[in-house]
Amino acid sequence: MSVTAAAGFAAGGFACGIKPDGQLDLAVVTAVAGTIGAAVFTTNRAAAAPVVVSRSNLADGPSVRAVVVNSGCANAGTGDEGIAAALTTVAAVAADVGCDPDEVLVCSTGGIGKPLEVDKVVAGLASLIPHVASSPGSGTSAAEAIMTTDTVPKETLYRGGSFTVGGMAKGAGMVRPDMATMLVVVTTDAVVRPAQLKEALQAAVDESFHALNIDGCPSTNDTVILLASGSSGVVPSPAELTTAVGRVCWDLANQLAADAEGASRVVTIDVVGAPDSATARRAGRLVCDSALVRSAFYGGDPNWGRLLGALGAGDIEFDPDEFGIAYEGVAVAEDGREVSHDPAALHAGIAEGDFTVTMTIGRGPGSARVLTTDLTPEYVNFNAEYS
């Protein structure tokens, strides 16, 4: 049920000593010869060294034979030393796998500003790579090794007829759209052209990870990688591939939201009435950036004025007289004005657990679904600790 579900891939996790508690902190996904890859990276201007190296390697060509991820250190804010560490990691994987260094993608996650103990990584790779396997347990081991503040590993699987798509993800904080949203590796055994692979990944990311906003803080390391081995021999249509990859990414995005740091509930915002889907998605993200809105979500308070104010503070043109809000299908505002409803009953209905908000911002055909969480005291306490 993970990155090893699709034919042509093997994985594993190992404790190389970056994390002081002896937990798994090094993961590798290997792929058969002929595998191609595509990726979406963070838009953060302080992109980490692994992002810089992986971007460069993919620019050299789509062939990918391995992805290596360390947790416990982001290797971000580390200058030339960080680049050298990422390149050393890539070279070590290439030597152990038997491929060119530019066929290896590298990711790191953890605290920013600390040098990566690359000697530990290299020694760990020598122990890990000979034992990678295609078993479900090996996939789960890799998913556990990329965790930082996550409380559970995140894996998923979709079988699209005679081809398979699997994936793993990590992320519980520093999650905000317009990047790849933390670290994700998705694999498929479909036969895919490089251009088609890029298109399917970008479409899936736009509808899933770019629709997720946990705390409004883009990470320096965010990367989503999609690999296609072609081992099934099946050539799906572009629509079939996009649907399959999209379902895997949407499921992983939901798992990220459910495991968000300190969160007690996931809130789904359906935006309708926009001129187009891109505008609808931007409107949803804008509302999710508001601490006032997410504090109201924590209290189960159907305060629709906070959503109106958050949207109006942004750069999206809309007519306030066409604004409407419904909580769990119960309308509280239409055409920019409050409508009759039972506040006590509605509050009781959303006092606990996940819920959905439908936000109307006009009369257009555009719509989008955005995921966020409530803003809790636990989130503040968690992120106030030194790390």
The catalytic site residues sit at 181
Residue 28 tokens, joined: 């590798």
- Tell me the C-alpha distance between 10 and 30, whole Å: 5
Supply φ then ψ for residue 29, to 5 degrees.
-120, 120
Task: Determine which helix (DSSP H) or strand (DSSP E) holds 55, and give its type and residue range.
Answer: helix 49-59
Give the closest residue to 105 by CA, choosing from 1, 171, 27, 168.
27
At residue 273, the 3 state secondary structure works out as: strand
At residue 267, the 3 state secondary structure works out as: strand
The dihedral over CA atoms of 187, 189, 194, 198, expressed in degrees to the nearest 10, equals -40
- Tell me the C-alpha distance between 16 and 82, whole Å: 18
Report the alpha-carbon angle 276-280-286, nearest 5: 145
Which residues, at least 6 apart from 231, have a Cβ–Cβ distance to it below 8 Å? 6, 7, 8, 32, 189
The dihedral over CA atoms of 271, 273, 275, 276, expressed in degrees to the nearest 10, equals 40
Report the chain's terminal Cα–Cα distance, integer Å.
32
Asked whether the CA dihedral 326, 327, 333, 339 is positive or negative, the reply is: positive
What is the DSSP secondary structure assignment for residue 235, as one 8-state letter? Answer: -
